[in-house]
């Protein structure tokens, strides 16, 4: 299953960084990996 990037809900951390999980082990096709993007101001 693919989700458009713009529709992925980001998580904002206490330091203002934006974290977005791009692939989760339960839905991304891999049982032992996840991929996330972090944008650090």
pLDDT in tens, the chain (41 residues): 567 888 889 999 999 999 998 887 776 566 778 889 999 98
Tokens of 34: 């996840």
pLDDT at position 19: 96
Report whether 5 contacts 18 (CB < 8 A): no
pLDDT at position 11: 93
Gap between the Cα atoms of 41 and 25, Å rounded: 27
- In this prediction the pTM is 0.65
pLDDT at position 29: 63
């Amino acid at each position: 299953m693919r989700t458009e990037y713009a529709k992925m809900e980001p998580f904002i951390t206490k330091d203002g960084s934006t974290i977005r999980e791009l692939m989760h082990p339960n839905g991304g096709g891999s049982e032992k990996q996840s991929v996330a993007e972090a944008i650090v101001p």
